[in-house]
Chains A and B, each alone.
Chain A
Amino acid sequence: MKKYVAVVLLLFFGYYLLLSFLQLDFGRADERMAVSKDYLHESVATNKVANVITSIVVNFRGFDTLGEVTVLFLASTALASILYRRNKPGVKVPKERILTSASHLLHIGAKVLFPISIVLGAYIFIHGHLTPGGGFQGGAVIATGVLLMILSYRKFHVNHNIVSWVESIAGIAFVAIGFTGLIFGTSFLENVFPVGTLNALMSGGAIPLIYIAVGFKVGAELIGLLDNILLNNKELKQ
Chain B
Amino acid sequence: MVISPIHYVAIPLLVAFLIPLVAKIGKNWARILPGLTLAYLNFVSVYLMTKVQETGIISESVGGWDAPVGINLVFSPLSGLLVSLITGIGFLVWLYSYQFKNVEKNESQKYFTLLLMLITGANGVILTGDIFNMFVFMEITAISAYALTAFYRHRNGAEAAFKYLLIGSLASTFMLLAIMLLYAQVGTLNMADIASKMDQVSSGMKVTIFILFLTGFGIEAEMFPLNGWAPDAYTEAPGPIGAVFASAVVKAGVYAMARVVFTLFGYGDSPVEILIIMGVITMAIAEFSAFRQEKLKRMLAYSSIGQMGLVIAAFGLGTKAGVFAALFIMVNHALIKSLLFLSGTYMVYHSKEKLIAELNGMAKELPVTAALFAFGALAIAGFPPFSGFWSKVYFLIAAADQKMVFLIIMVLLVTTVEVLYYFKVINRMYFHKPEMELEYRRPSTNALISMFVLTAVILWISFFPDTVMGYIDAAANDLVNRAGYINLVLNR
Interface residues of A (CB under 8 A from B): 16-17, 19-21, 23-26, 32-36, 38-39, 42, 59-64, 66-68, 70-71, 73-75, 77-78, 80-82, 84, 86, 164-165, 167-169, 171-172, 174-176, 178-179, 181-183, 185-191
Cβ-defined contact, A70 with B16, below 8 A: yes
Inter-chain contacts of A172 with B (CB < 8 A): 14, 17-18, 21
Which of A33, A38, A165, A186 is within 8 Å of B69, CB to CB?
A38
> Which residue of the partner chain A has the closest CB to B17?
A171
Chain A CB within 10 A, most for which of B19, B64, B139: B64
Cβ distance B34 to chain A, nearest Cβ, rounded Å: 13
Cβ-defined contact, A185 with B151, below 8 A: no
Cβ-defined contact, B17 with A187, below 8 A: no
Query: A175 and B187 in contact (CB under 8 A), knowing A186-B64, A188-B62, A188-B63?
Result: no
Query: Which residues, 1 to 60 on B, are CB-close (under 8 Å) to A?
Result: 1, 4, 6, 10, 13-14, 16-21, 60
Inter-chain contacts of A24 with B (CB < 8 A): 181, 184
Query: A82 and B10 in contact (CB under 8 A), knowing A24-B184, A32-B186?
Result: no
Inter-chain contacts of A84 with B (CB < 8 A): 153
Our count of residue pairs bridging A and B at CB distance below 8 angstroms stands at 163
Inter-chain contacts of B117 with A (CB < 8 A): 70, 74
Cβ distance A227 to chain B, nearest Cβ, rounded Å: 15
B140 within 8 A of A: yes
Inter-chain contacts of A63 with B (CB < 8 A): 62-63, 71, 133
Query: A32 and B140 in contact (CB under 8 A), knowing A81-B107, A82-B150?
Result: no
Cβ-defined contact, B132 with A71, below 8 A: no
Inter-chain contacts of B71 with A (CB < 8 A): 61, 63-64
B200 within 8 A of A: yes
Which of B17, B139, B140 is within 8 Å of A175, CB to CB?
B17
Cβ distance B213 to chain A, nearest Cβ, rounded Å: 13
Cβ-defined contact, B63 with A168, below 8 A: no
Inter-chain contacts of B1 with A (CB < 8 A): 179, 182-183
Which of A20, A34, A62, A168 is within 8 Å of B187, CB to CB?
A34
B428 within 8 A of A: no
B451 within 8 A of A: no
Question: Chain B interface: which size bin?
Answer: 35 or more
Cβ-defined contact, B133 with A60, below 8 A: no
Inter-chain contacts of B483 with A (CB < 8 A): none
Cβ-defined contact, B16 with A73, below 8 A: yes
Which of B10, B151, B208 is within 8 Å of A178, CB to CB?
B10
Of the A-B pairs whose beta carbons lie under 8 Å apart in the complex, a sample of 27, sorted by A's number, is A20-B204, A35-B68, A35-B69, A35-B189, A36-B187, A38-B68, A39-B69, A60-B65, A61-B132, A67-B136, A70-B117, A74-B117, A74-B140, A77-B147, A81-B110, A81-B147, A81-B151, A82-B161, A172-B14, A172-B21, A175-B17, A176-B14, A182-B1, A182-B4, A186-B61, A188-B6, A190-B64
Cβ-defined contact, B132 with A168, below 8 A: no
Cβ-defined contact, B63 with A17, below 8 A: no
Chain B CB within 10 A, most for which of A75, A78, A172: A78
